[in-house]
Amino acid sequence: MDASSFIKKYANHPNYFAPVGSKLNAKSWQTEAPLRMLLNNLNEEVAEDPSNLVVYGGSGQAARDTDSVKKIIELLLELDNNESLLVQSGKPVGKVRTHEQAPRVLIANSNLVPAWSTWEHFEKLKSDGLMMFGQMTAGSWIYIGTQGILQGTYETFVSCAKRHFNNSLYGKLLVSGGLGGMGGAQPLAATMSGATFLGADIDPSRIEKRLATKYIDKMTFSYDEARDWILDAKKKKKNISVGLVSDIGDLLEKLLEDNIIPDILTDQTSAHDPVHGYIPNGLSLSEANNLRIKDPVQYKELSLKSMARHVSFMLKMKSLGSITFDYGNNLREFAKQGGEKNAFHFNGFVPEYIRPLFCEGKGPFRWVALSGNSDDIYVTDKALIDAFPENKNMIRWLEKARKKVKFQGLPSRICWLGMGEREKAGLIFNDLVKSGKISAPIVIGRDHLDCGSVASPYRETEGMLDGSDAVSDWPLLNLMSNTAGGATWVSFHHGGGVGMGYSQHAGMVILVDGTKRAESCIKRVLHNDPALGIIRHSDAGYDKANNNLKKFNLDI
């Protein structure tokens, strides 16, 4: 099939979907894999808004424009295994000579010189067609739908239960805002961990999408109905989830008026972007869209004031007993800019619940069946359960995920694995492809939210023991290590999760095709990647990381 026919079939804007099966369209699986994953990112089952190439987070794109998508596809179909494609903020800009074990695609998204790293400068460049916002896994072509953040959210809620609620969230009420691409994992993660969940989103289509994928149980436009449902469920210790079409600030205000204080309170609105993400209080969706175009400066001012109001209610609930934490969207910083001087009087989720896992090299390990065959994922599930019988938490997760998680786009899975486990899993998967027990190659990737791949002082690296929160040498070292190690594609982004000026982070994806070449790359990449997490946290002075440094012979 020539490029024009391929594009007409698989990338007829805005209808994108990946080829499936074991037949190649490109010259090798090394280029077929990124091709399929780009198209999977833009599949309407996966992406928030394919018509604007937005994958998640309100503005996180897979490519800069439709011409760029077409050109990337054309180049990947013809790319040889001694070449690498360069992608600059979603636009293909050239090919370079490399070698068979080098990355086939090198991606840099949204990176600006620090003094220019503002939303205002970014938006000027974007309006001139010079840049796009890649978020984390949107512009690095390894977003897998809401499941991508599901286990991390589950791990956070389980850790919260362990610390504050004697290991059980049954009969506990968890309240949050934002039910879009990332926040949409919250209701299922909450019920999987035993809680009763109430979440708000001003956009009904986001809740409807969660209903369709069975990530949420009920939806209503009525606060009274939502309140009665969750109170009844809480009383009966039923772990149900309810999505209310509402501004989150309005919901918290009404709960306070009714003296309903959540046991756990967090947030995942698109507060990383006060113009293209967050919806100001008092505006309908259509009013917000109009104002965003007409007067983005006023829109931002209204967003910041709304975030300040939002956080003030969270602080009030915290003072009344809610276990309150930021789930990593820069809400606190923008609330502070909007006038809430005490916005940082609650912590983020990483220093509260996740950092001990980072010290073990643990993080969001994910993989995708390029075949499109869900049975391939079930084979990998069983292989991991057999390989790690001592990892009871992983086994519980995989069993729950098989029952409760609906695949979006190409079938995929995620589970948090640490140092040693990732390499072992990758080699097992490679043998499964080689033996034909999996019907086609798979790709292994991860979120940029990982143990050693991100600098984000208001999220992953908040409150580092040695004060090195803003040191971004670490994600750069991660990028270089994975490039040298032979990942199939690598990426370096700015701003994902918390917005322009507030984070830098690296991504990697590796092809598992049953070959000796893949085995060599897996041994390097899936060793180096988590090793960076242990090295980074050991350098910061964490005893647990120091112990693991010695355990895995990483000390120098």
What one-letter code names the amino acid at 165? Answer: F
546: exposed, middle or buried (Cβ count in 10 Å: 0-12, 13-18, 19+): middle
CA–CA dist 274, 335 (Å, integer): 10
The tally of CA atoms less than 13 A away on the side-chain side of residue 225 is 10
* Cis, peptide link before residue 14, omega less than 30° from 0: yes
CA–CA dist 366, 142 (Å, integer): 9
Whether the Cβ atoms of residue 443 and residue 488 lie closer than 8 Å to each other: yes
How is residue 411 written in tokens? 């079938």
Longest dimension (CA), the chain: 65
Comparing CA positions, the residue from 478, 472, 480, 496 lying closest to residue 532 is 478
Please tell me what DSSP assigns to residue 361. Answer: T
Q: Alpha carbon of 448 to those of 104, 266, 452, 495: distances in Å?
A: 19, 21, 9, 11
Task: Quickly list H helices, 374-436.
Answer: 374-387, 392-404, 421-435
Whether the Cβ atoms of residue 79 and residue 26 lie closer than 8 Å to each other: yes
Whether the Cβ atoms of residue 413 and residue 381 lie closer than 8 Å to each other: yes
How is residue 282 written in tokens? 């008092």
- Does the CA dihedral 520-395-418-483 come out positive or negative? positive
385: exposed, middle or buried (Cβ count in 10 Å: 0-12, 13-18, 19+): middle
Q: Alpha carbon of 422 to those of 103, 262, 318, 416, 427: distances in Å?
A: 19, 37, 38, 9, 9
Phi-psi region of 176 (alpha: psi -120 to 50; beta: other; left: phi over 0): beta
Q: Which residues contact 347 (CB under 8 A, 6 or more apart)?
A: 325, 326, 462, 463
Q: Which residues are catalytic?
A: 415
Q: What phi and psi values does residue 268 have, to the nearest 5 degrees?
A: -140, 40
Comparing CA positions, the residue from 178, 497, 459 lying closest to residue 307 is 178
CA–CA dist 65, 62 (Å, integer): 9
